[in-house]
Amino acid sequence: MRDRRPNILIAVLDSARPELLSCYGGPPVSTPNIDRLAAQGYLFEKAIAPSVWTFPVMASVFTGMLPAKHGGHDQHALLDSPYSTLAEFFASHGYETAAVSDVPYVGPMTRLDRGFRWMSNLQRHEVSLGSLALKAIGRAHRTLARAYTKTAETRVLMREAVRWLDRIRDPDRPFLLYIHSDETHAPLAPPARYRRRYAGISTRRMRAINQDKQLYMGGAVQMSAQDFCDLYNLALAEAAYFDMWFGRLLRHLQRYDVLNNTVIVVMADHGENFGEHGLVRHGLCLYDTLLHVPLIIRPPGGCNGARVKPMVQLIDLLPTLLNMASIDVPGMAAEFQGRDLLERVQTGEFPAFTVSELYRPATRLFEKKVPHFMPEFRRRYDRVLRSYRTATHKYIWSSNGRHELYDLVRDPDEARNLIEVEPELAQTLHQRLQEWLDSFPHAHAAPSAPLAAAATEDGQLAARLRDLGYVE
C-alpha cells in the first residue's frame, strides 16, 4: 500500500546570491521554473546562512544547529557529532533517501552522506555512474573544466536524479531527494547560448577573466570593475542554465504524478563576492554578500505565493521539513537551534537575531601561490569570526580584536564600520552574542586532516577539488 506522506525535494545552487534569480530581482524570466515555485510557495527575502562555505553550512542545515554546536567547520571538516541528520531522520521514518551532488563536500569525505541510502557523487561515481558513456564523462571532467564548460556535468546531475526516481527508488514509499549543483560556483563557464544572452562576452573574454581568489588577493593579478561585472553576469547565465535543467526535472515529476505531493525547496548554501570588500569568491568574511541567500519553499500542491520579509535562518529548514512530513523527534527537537519556518509565518514570531560563524580558513593555497602575501593574509584573515545580526545592525566579533559594527538600514553594503562610533551598541550586541554562546554545549573536536591530505587517497576527488579551487 502506498505511503501518502509528502515527498521532499531539496535543490541547492552553490554560491548563488539571491539576485541571480528573477524572483529576487534578477533579469526578468531568467529563471522561470524557480520563479513559478516561488509564486506557489514561500519566498524568504532575508534568509541568513550559518557560515560562508559549503561544508559548515550544509552540516548546519542537516542538523538544525550552528557549527559551534555540531562541531563541523573549517578546522574540523567532518560531521562526526552524535546528532542525527536530516537524511537519518527521514530514513528512520520510512523515507527513501537519495542525494545527487557534484560538490565533494556533500559526500563521504565529510560524512555528510549520513542517512542517504543512495548517493551519486559525480566526481567519485560512487554508486551508479555505471554506463561507459557516463564513465567517459567522468574521465573527461578535467578536460571539460579546462575548456570552461560544466554542461555535461549539469546534464548528468539531473539525469542521475531522474534515473534514481525511475529505476531505483521504491515508488510505494515517500522520498527525500537532495540535489546539490555547483553550476553557480566558480569557475563560471556557462554554455555559449547562455553566456551570449546574459553576459554578452566571447569565449576568449571569458577565459581571460581571472577567477583565482589567491592570485587576486595576493596582488599577482589585477581585476577591473568590468571584470567583476562580467563575472557576475556569467553567474546569472549559470543560474539560468541550471533553471532550464531543473525545470525538466520538475516536468518529469509531474508526468509521474508526484509533483503535487512534493515539498520543493530551492536554496543556496552561501553567496559570492564579486569584488565587494576587496574580495572575490567566498570565505574570509561574514558580510551579506555571502550570508544572504535565496530560500524558497513550495508546499505540496502549492499555495498562494507569499514573500516573507522578516529575517530567518537556514537552520530553520530541518524542523520545518520534519513537521511538514509529520515526523516527530521528541528526543532531538529540543536540541535544534532553528524553528519551523511555516510556524514562524503563521504566528509572526521571527528570530530577533541570527548568528553566523567562520573559523580560521585554510592557508595552503595562499602559501603556495602567493607566498609573499602570507604576512598580510595572516594579519587580516587568520582569525575566527562570529556575527550577531538583528533586523537593523550586525556586530562581527573577531578573535584578533578587529571587531566590526554596521547599520544595515542606512548602510546595507556594510561599507562603514561603526565600532568606534557606537561603542555602547557594540558592547550590548557583544554581550548578547556571548550570552547566546553560553546557552548551549559546544563541540570540541580535534582538527581534521586538511582537504589536500584527504584528496591524496582519491585521484578523482583531488581533481574535483582542484577544479573548484580548493587544492593545488
163-171 long-range contacts, CB within 8 A, separation 24+: 163/128, 164/98, 164/100, 164/118, 164/120, 164/128, 165/252, 165/253, 165/256, 168/98, 168/118, 168/128, 169/96, 169/98, 169/118, 170/96, 171/2
Are 74 and 58 contacting, i.e. CB atoms less than 8 angstroms apart?
no
Domain map of the chain by residue range?
Answer: 7-352
Rounded to whole angstroms, the Cα distance separating 408 from 236 reads: 25
Q: pLDDT at position 74, please?
A: 67
DSSP secondary-structure letter at 271?
-
| Cell numbers representing residue 361 in the block | 580558513
Give how far Cα 308 sits from Cα of 60, 147, 264, 297, Å. 22, 41, 17, 11
Give how far Cα 110 sits from Cα of 70, 78, 177, 298, 471, Å. 13, 4, 19, 29, 16
Q: pLDDT at position 285, please?
A: 92
Helical ranges in 256-313 per DSSP H:
288-291
Q: Nearest CA to 357 among 74, 14, 83?
A: 74
Q: pLDDT at position 330, please?
A: 83
Q: Would you list the DSSP string of 142-208?
A: HHHHHTT--HHHHHHHHHHHHHIIIIIS-TTS-EEEEEEE-TTSSSP---HHHHHHHT---HHHHHH
Q: pLDDT at position 10, please?
A: 98
Residue 223 burial (10 A CB sphere; 0-12, 13-18, 19+): middle
Q: Rounded to the nearest 5°, which phi and psi values hold at 95?
A: -85, 145
Are 259 and 250 contacting, i.e. CB atoms less than 8 angstroms apart?
yes
Domain 7-352, CATH class in plain words? alpha beta
DSSP secondary-structure letter at 385?
E
Q: pLDDT at position 131, please?
A: 34
Give the chain's residues under pLDDT 50.
124-149, 450, 464, 466, 468-471
Segment holding 330, helix H or strand E: helix 330-333
